[in-house]
Structure 1
Amino acid sequence: MERIILAAAIALLAAGCDARTPPAPEGQPSQAPAPVAQPHPQPTPQPLAQLPAGRTEKVTNDLYEFEYAYPPKAAAIPGLKTLLDKRLATSRAELEKSSKSDQVEANKNGYPYRAHSSGAKWAIVADLPRWLSLSAEMYEYSGGAHGMTFFDALLWDREQNLARTAGDLFISKAALSAAIREPFCAALDKERVKRRGEPVNRQSGDEFDACIDPAEHAVILGSSNGKTFDRIGILVEPYAAGAYAEGTFDITLPVTERIIGSVKPAYKDEFSVR
């Protein structure tokens, strides 16, 4: 919005007037005008540091479709940016190699080649003083009936300047699994019931009714306070806990004393009970 400031000039007429302060009567102190306090200049606000742009790579051709993206906060950490750029390059090279190979086979055997695809999108889960927690939803299609969604996760340790997995902070994968398996499976069954419209019987012998091991899937660490990890998420791909049509499962659990008990001593202070 444009703002127009109008200044009105006031003319002081001095004809026949003496602008000087008249002398004070004898015996009284001079009544010189009190100095007017000048306002201190306000500091100029410094512009906020601008995060570097994240990266989004998209390639579409007759052979394949490729997409890979990560956010600005990841790009702002040189070591993490280098790691993700390497993963991007590796993913694209592998996609191109497999696509060319399958195209040759399709032409050789006289059936139509279907362009392959690969995608990965990284997102921030939590940004703590020491840690940047990220998760990725990925997708691959290699010419079959449908593609496949799967997940990845990592923690960037700012103190050590290296990437870790959530599992690295726990005594062992078995210890993590033991601490979260029962509440995880209870939450998973609730989601299964919503999608199936019928109770889940873990004793049915059906693999899609079983209580799966959460530690075998992508584990992400989250935070509601911006200081410590106080929630833990498990991302489950299709076919792992239900039919393909049921899709993926995203189960979030609050951190409990039992979960903290499965954390390595060096990292216990990074967690809190929610």
Structure 2
Amino acid sequence: MRGVLAAALLLAGSSALSARVPAPVPASDLMIRQASPGIEWRWRMAPETATQQALLRSMRTEALGEAAKARRAAAKDLASAQAAGFPFRPYETINDWTLAADTPRLLSLALETWSHTGGAHGNTGFAVRIWDKTARRSIGIDALFTDWPRARKLIEPQYCRMLAEEQRRRRGEPTGGAFDACPSLAEQPILPWAGLGQVASQYRVLLGPYVAGPYSEGSYLVTVPWPDGIETLVKPEYRADLFGPAR
């Protein structure tokens, strides 16, 4: 009887554990690679998303839709070039999602996209995804704050100052051109940044070519600590993620 009871308890414990632990995600779910005569299209996802399977499924579905759209556009352009007797260089797109922060409640991801669609050179773009693990949904940077406009007023001068320093390092003194102005923070991808740490004690603004400088200067990735005074504007449920446990 004791043996039967022990076996039943072991089975029940195993069942409870399997209910709590998500099934392993195949490595192939973190990659998409599609090729056709008109385009080679690739997508890579940060491995940490395997712990958030609802997020991974959603982003993979989005990526497959984008790949299909890109294939149709490339096929149309290829057919037009062939009909006109023009040479056609196959298009190429690479989408690379990397980890920006993995805190107790937040998973912060940055997308760098490189795409070449027949111009003189390819171009780079950025996007972000912030996932609330507890709520199981994507949120914007504004959702971390009780008053995002006030928080942005604290963040923007600091970001502009750091960007200007990097611009001077790359190009020397200001030239008086259009790229000397600080691009509005409201129009840029921005996300919490932890690097290898467990607290997203910084934020990062992602600026592609032509946003803060000419193509020759490349992208600007501006990483800045949260400014003094902003902690009181962070919602209580996110403060430990940005500033660590309360002392």
TM-score category, normalised to shorter length: 0.7 to 0.9
The answer to whether the 8 Å contact 2:105/2:238 transfers is: no
Residue 101 of structure 1: which of 62, 66, 76 is its match? 76
Distance change in 2, residues 1:260/1:92 (3 Å): same
Secondary structure class of the residue paired with 1:113: coil
- How far off its partner does 1:226 sit? 4.8
Does structure 1 residue 231 correspond to structure 2 residue 194? no
Deviation digits for residues 100-141 of structure 1, max 9, x if unmatched? 121122223332222112221111111111111111111122
- How far off its partner does 1:149 sit? 0.5
What corresponds to 2:174 in structure 1?
200
Deviation digits for residues 34-53 of structure 1, max 9, x if unmatched? xxxxxxxxxxxxxxx99634
Q: Distance in 1 between matches of 2:193 and 2:123?
A: 25
Residue 32 of structure 2: which of 49, 54, 57 is its match? 57
- How far off its partner does 1:64 sit? 0.4
What corresponds to 1:113 in structure 2?
88
Q: Distance in 2 between matches of 1:141 and 1:72?
A: 26
Does structure 1 residue 258 correspond to structure 2 residue 229? yes
The answer to whether the 8 Å contact 1:156/1:164 transfers is: yes
Q: Distance in 2 between matches of 1:98 and 1:254?
A: 41
Secondary structure class of the residue paired with 2:229: helix
- How far off its partner does 1:56 sit? 1.9
Deviation digits for residues 138-195 of structure 1, max 9, x if unmatched? 1122111111111111111111111122233235664443222211111111111121
Deviation digits for residues 203-232 of structure 1, max 9, x if unmatched? x3x211111112311112023795543110
- How far off its partner does 1:73 sit? 1.6
What corresponds to 2:101 in structure 1?
126
The answer to whether the 8 Å contact 1:177/1:213 transfers is: no
Deviation digits for residues 222-253 of structure 1, max 9, x if unmatched? 23795543110101000000000100001111
Runs of 4+ residues over 6 Å off in structure 1: none
The answer to whether the 8 Å contact 1:232/1:255 transfers is: yes
User: Given residue 68 of structure 2, which amino acid in structure 1 is its aligned partner?
Assistant: A
The answer to whether the 8 Å contact 2:101/2:198 transfers is: no
What corresponds to 1:248 in structure 2?
219
The answer to whether the 8 Å contact 2:131/2:137 transfers is: yes
Instruction: Structure 2: give runs of 5+ residues left out of the alignment.
Output: 1-21
Distance change in 2, residues 1:77/1:186 (3 Å): same
Bigger helix share:
2
Q: Distance in 1 between matches of 2:125 and 2:145?
A: 23
Q: Distance in 2 between matches of 1:166 and 1:174?
A: 11
Does structure 1 residue 136 correspond to structure 2 residue 107? no
CA RMSD of aligned residues (A): 2.5
Instruction: Structure 1: give runs of 5+ residues left out of the alignment.
Output: 1-48
Structure with the greater alpha carbon radius of gyration? 1
Structure 1 length-normalised TM:
0.72
Residue 164 of structure 1: which of 139, 154, 157 is its match? 139
The answer to whether the 8 Å contact 1:117/1:141 transfers is: yes
The answer to whether the 8 Å contact 2:155/2:227 transfers is: no
- How far off its partner does 1:84 sit? 1.6
Between the two proteins, the alignment pairs up a number of residues equal to 221
- How far off its partner does 1:200 sit? 1.9
Secondary structure class of the residue paired with 1:257: coil
